[in-house]
Amino acid sequence: MNPSVLLVLLRKDLRLFFANRFFALVTGLALAAYVGMYYLLPAAVDETLEIGWVNPGLPARFADELEGEGVILHSYADAAALRAAVAAGEVPAGVAFPPGLMAALAAGARPTVEIFLAGDVPEELRQVYPLMVEEWVSLAVGRPIQIEAAEQVLGVDRTGQPVPPRDRMLPLFAVFVLFIETLGLASLIAAEVAGGTLRALLVTPLRVEGLFVSKAVLGVGLAFTQSTLLMALTGGLRHGAPQILTALLFGSLLVTGVAFLLASASKDLMSVMSWGVLAMLLLSIPALNVLLPGLVSGWVRALPSYPLVEAVHQVVNYQYGWSQIGGLLLALAGYAAAFLALGVVVLRRRFQ
Amino acid sequence: MNLRRVAVLLYKELRGPKNFIFIMAVVVPVALTLVISLLFGTFLSERPRLGIVDRGRSDLPARAAALESIQARTLDDDRALRAEVARGALDMGLVLPADFDARVAAGEPTELTVFVWGESLLRSRAILGTALLTLIRELAGRQPPVEVVTTLVGEAQSLPWEQRLLPFVVLMSLMLGGLMVPATSLVEEKQHHTLRAVTTTAATLGEVLAAKGLLGVVLSTFMAAVTLFLNRALGAQPALLVGTLAMGATLAAGVGLLLGVLVRDINSLFATIKSLGIFLYAPALVYMFPEIPAWIGRLFPTYYLIQPVIDIVQHGAGPAEVLPDLLILAGLIAALLAVVGLAGRRAMQRAG
């Protein structure tokens, strides 16, 4: 195909794409919104339980042991000071052990411990604090349970380094950005098919292959540029940039194939939107599974966006390399080739 | 305005083909409600998730299921348990040996197999560990060494996410049906030149607008009521609630009609609605994040549409309490309908 013809077609398509006010607006707005949302989300996960306490005699090593288990203790002089601190929102919960606790326990008494909880502690967590206090005191007075736990950690052990929600959201943002470009391209092609301009172009020396190449280059170019910008602006390219860029390139090819399919089933923006929203929901499911692990079961692996989402997630959040995500990239390349080929065949049937 | 002709036009709208937005207006509120209850009931809950395989007949699974601070469920075998933990559907998995309860009661050393999801938060592990030790202590017949008394302090209140999101879902129900349906229907008719065909008959533009607006009001009032019903938030004043929803739907339909009259094509309409999005949904954001000062919500017209609804369903407000907001809403509706009438007349004059 003649490169100069390709350039002319690309220029024309780009002009048409941005002449559509909706997609012109959404293209910029969506990218800005996703980047903004990323930076608004917390950069770290607070995985600790902060508790204020009045300690009248529990061993000092106790606090150290608890901190290793995710419990941060803040000391207060007496119950009144602790209560005031909880009311002021300094700590969400406070445990006031009574004076002479250890002596009372040694004497066989059952002393009363006061717990102060802030009103905004979720209902489901309110039961945890009494249980914790009972366990601490049981341990402190030497009444351990004779249980030996053989513990196995499954999956990547992120103890102390949980993945922040905003980094879990990145694959979802990437899918959305890729897909919004898909809707734009599908709408452009659908309008050209409905208006007969695609057929008109074939009256010129341009061949069908050239037409598809130009549309594919436009689709891949728009999707890849946007998603790369998203990753660059959110710091997603800090680790494993070659792997991420490869995944995004294959992802762009995949969504371009989907755009061809959408265009072949649609006649205007409304029908592109109706089919597109359905396809977008389906393709977003693997990203939701990264955001909320355990949300869906094994069938999610069959979705074509699964290898894209997993590759991005594993490189960004676990710093995996080629060897770990190679299989995913291969699967993604396969899906991309299949969808592109299917899209070309179906769309060609529609307008010829 | 001839009411009989309005009724005929409304009947035509109801019986005629439904566009994508009409289907979205019906499906989205229901789907969103289901997704939110699924997510916040299980996956986004702060309660850690425990899976138990009981090889005998232990009391522990039933006791764990009764605890409010954790989500516990039983599984059939170790393999399923392991798989659920590995994919993050459970924070922890526990395999109880056949004679577990008897050994614990006898104070004999007992071995447990525990699977821990690598990405489980320290806090979740601490809560689950504490809960399990407490339950095992109960099984062993040991009384906690202390009495715990819990007191809630401070004015802050825990507001579950389901409640925070309710205004957004109700607002979306009202906007999709009330705003989008009349707006897209009008613009589509303009694009297909059917609007001109209808207004060359005895029907006036005012009657066409009234019919389309009524469709939006009826649809969005119904869908908002369905949404509240699904959220078990109908409140104690059904007549007041339906009246308030209908007023809110009228405001939304007024905005939809105005856009439908002013905007020429569907792309521009979507772009305009997208740009207006933050303005329309801003009050819902204020509900979502209590840190945002509540007075900011009052700056947006849609506040007067959603606030009375929330007052009725979440705070049990009666007519006297919601009257001031409803009066402002009525004023906004009157002003908007006057603007729609003016814009409609100008559009007719332009059309010739």
Q: What is the reported pLDDT for B327?
A: 95
Higher pLDDT, A67 or B168: B168
Beta carbons of A207 and A326 less than 8 angstroms apart: no
Q: What are phi and psi of B224, to 5 degrees?
A: -65, -40
Task: Say how many CA atoms lie within 13 Å of B59 toward its Cβ.
Answer: 13
Beta carbons of B274 and A29 less than 8 angstroms apart: yes
Q: Using pLDDT thresholds of 50, 70 and 90, give the confidence band for residue B246.
A: very high
CA A338 to CA B48: how far, in whole Å?
41
- Residue A322 identity (one-letter amino acid): W
Q: Å from A14 to nearest chain B CA?
A: 16
Q: Å from A119 to nearest chain B CA?
A: 5
Q: Using pLDDT thresholds of 50, 70 and 90, give the confidence band for residue A324.
A: very high
CA A27 to CA A15: how far, in whole Å?
14
pLDDT tens track for B191-201 = 877 777 777 77
Nearest to B297 by CA among B310, B284, B309: B284
Q: Å from B328 to nearest chain A CA?
A: 32
Strand order in the sheet with B110-117: A147-154, B110-117, B92-96, B49-54, B71-74
Beta carbons of B185 and B213 less than 8 angstroms apart: no
CB within 8 Å: B24 and A130: no
Beta carbons of B187 and B264 less than 8 angstroms apart: yes
Q: Which neighbouring-strand residues pair with A115?
A: A95, B150
Q: Using pLDDT thresholds of 50, 70 and 90, give the confidence band for residue A312.
A: very high
pLDDT tens track for B14-35 = 776 666 777 777 788 888 777 7
**Environment class of residue B40 by beta-carbon count within 10 Å: exposed (0-12), middle (13-18) or buried (19+)?**
middle
Tokens of A263: 């265009």
- Most A CBs within 10 A among B69, B113, B289, hence the mutation to make, goes to B69
Q: Using pLDDT thresholds of 50, 70 and 90, give the confidence band for residue A152.
A: confident
For residue B335, is pLDDT > 90? yes
Residues of B in contact with A134 (CB under 8 A): 134, 137, 144-146, 148
CB within 8 Å: A48 and B143: no
State which residue of chain A sits closest to B110, comparing Cα positions: A147
pLDDT tens track for B281-334 = 888 888 877 767 888 888 999 999 899 999 998 888 889 999 999 999 999 999
Higher pLDDT, B124 or A61: B124
CB within 8 Å: B271 and A21: yes
Q: For chain A, how big is the Rg over CA atoms in Å?
A: 29
Strand order in the sheet with A71-75: A71-75, A49-54, A93-96, A112-118, B147-153
For residue B44, is pLDDT > 60? no
pLDDT tens track for B126-160 = 888 888 888 888 888 877 777 888 887 866 666 67
H/E element, A154: strand A147-154
**Ramachandran area for residue B141 (φ above 0: left; ψ -120 to 50: alpha; else beta):** left
Q: What is the reported pLDDT for A49?
A: 79
- Map residue B68 onto helix, strand or coil: coil
Q: What is the reported pLDDT for A39?
A: 86
Residues of A in contact with B135 (CB under 8 A): none
CB within 8 Å: A270 and B184: yes
Sort strands A93-96 and A112-118 into parallel, antiparallel or unpaired.
antiparallel
Tokens of B12: 């035509």
Tokens of B27: 């499906």
CB within 8 Å: B89 and A155: no
* Chain-centre distance for alpha carbon B283: 14
Question: What percent of chain B stands above pLDDT 70?
Answer: 93
Taken in order A96, A102, A107, A110, the sign of the CA dihedral is: positive
Q: Å from B46 to nearest chain A CA?
A: 8
Beta carbons of A26 and A222 less than 8 angstroms apart: no
Beta carbons of B253 and B217 less than 8 angstroms apart: yes
Residues of A in contact with B68 (CB under 8 A): 123-124, 126-127
Taken in order B258, B262, B263, B264, the sign of the CA dihedral is: positive
Q: How many CB atoms lie within 10 A of CB B202?
A: 9
Q: Using pLDDT thresholds of 50, 70 and 90, give the confidence band for residue A249.
A: very high
CA A2 to CA A10: how far, in whole Å?
12
Q: What is the reported pLDDT for B38?
A: 65
Task: Please state the rounded mean pLDDT for residues A107-121.
Answer: 85
Least confident of A299-308, A325-334, B58-67, B286-295: B286-295
CB within 8 Å: B131 and A128: yes
H/E element, A98: none
Taken in order B41, B44, B47, B53, the sign of the CA dihedral is: positive
Q: Which of B49, B67, B148 sits opposite A133 (nearest CB)?
A: B148
Nearest to B47 by CA among B80, B113, B92: B92
For residue B52, is pLDDT > 90? yes
Q: Å from A4 to nearest chain B CA?
A: 31
Q: What is the reported pLDDT for A337?
A: 95
Q: Which of A148, A160, A270 sits opposite B111 (nearest CB)?
A: A148
Q: What is the reported pLDDT for A14?
A: 78
pLDDT tens track for A22-42 = 777 777 777 888 888 888 877
CB within 8 Å: B155 and A162: no
For residue B230, is pLDDT > 70? yes
**Ramachandran area for residue B275 (φ above 0: left; ψ -120 to 50: alpha; else beta):** alpha
State which residue of chain A sits closest to B152, comparing Cα positions: A117
State which residue of chain B sits closest to A153, comparing Cα positions: B116
Place of tokens 């994508």: B20
Task: Please state the rounded mean pLDDT for residues A202-217.
Answer: 77
- Residue B163 identity (one-letter amino acid): Q
CB within 8 Å: A159 and B122: yes
CB within 8 Å: A271 and B20: yes
CA A277 to CA B31: how far, in whole Å?
13
Tokens of A321: 């390399």
Q: Using pLDDT thresholds of 50, 70 and 90, give the confidence band for residue B277.
A: confident
Q: What is the reported pLDDT for A267?
A: 75
Q: How many CB atoms lie within 10 A of CB A48?
A: 15
CA A241 to CA B231: how far, in whole Å?
44
Higher pLDDT, B237 or B15: B237
Q: What is the reported pLDDT for B193?
A: 79
Beta carbons of A269 and A349 less than 8 angstroms apart: no
Q: What is the reported pLDDT for B294?
A: 80
CA B201 to CA B195: how far, in whole Å?
10
For residue A149, is pLDDT > 80? no
Nearest to A155 by CA among B244, B87, B330: B87
CA B102 to CA B8: how far, in whole Å?
77
CB within 8 Å: B153 and A112: no
Least confident of A192-206, A300-314, B207-221: A192-206
- Most A CBs within 10 A among B123, B137, B289, hence the mutation to make, goes to B123
Residues of B in contact with A113 (CB under 8 A): 146-149
CB within 8 Å: B146 and A49: no
Question: In chain B, what is the greatest distance between 2 CA atoms, to the nearest angstrom?
Answer: 95
Task: Please state the rounded mean pLDDT for residues A141-152.
Answer: 75
**Environment class of residue A148 by beta-carbon count within 10 Å: exposed (0-12), middle (13-18) or buried (19+)?**
exposed
Q: Which of B19, B148, B275 sits opposite A270 (nearest CB)?
A: B19
Q: What is the reported pLDDT for A45?
A: 77
Q: Using pLDDT thresholds of 50, 70 and 90, give the confidence band for residue A255.
A: very high
Q: Enumerate the H helices of chain B as residue ranges.
A: 3-15, 20-38, 60-66, 78-86, 100-106, 122-139, 161-175, 181-191, 194-199, 205-230, 238-262, 266-288, 303-315, 319-351
Beta carbons of A244 and A310 less than 8 angstroms apart: no
Q: Which of B146, B149, B152 sits opposite A119 (nearest CB)?
A: B152
The answer, for B206 touching chain A at a CB cutoff of 8 Å, is: no
User: What residues 52-81 of chain B have any CB closer than 8 A to a CB of chain A?
Assistant: 67-69
CB within 8 Å: B46 and A122: yes
Question: In chain A, what is the greatest distance between 2 CA atoms, to the nearest angstrom?
Answer: 101
The answer, for B25 touching chain A at a CB cutoff of 8 Å, is: no
CB within 8 Å: A120 and B266: no
Higher pLDDT, A137 or B325: B325
Beta carbons of B205 and B257 less than 8 angstroms apart: no
Task: Say how many CA atoms lie within 13 Å of B17 toward its Cβ.
Answer: 4
CB within 8 Å: A148 and B130: no
Query: What interface predicted TM-score (ipTM) does this complex get?
Result: 0.73
Tokens of B251: 């405001």
Q: What is the reported pLDDT for B60?
A: 92
Q: Å from B304 to nearest chain A CA?
A: 27
- Most B CBs within 10 A among A16, A17, A22, hence the mutation to make, goes to A22
Residues of B in contact with A155 (CB under 8 A): 85-86, 88, 117-119
For residue B252, is pLDDT > 80? yes
Tokens of A205: 């020396």
User: What residues 301-320 of chain B have any CB closer than 8 A to a CB of chain A?
Assistant: none
Q: Å from B1 to nearest chain A CA?
A: 32
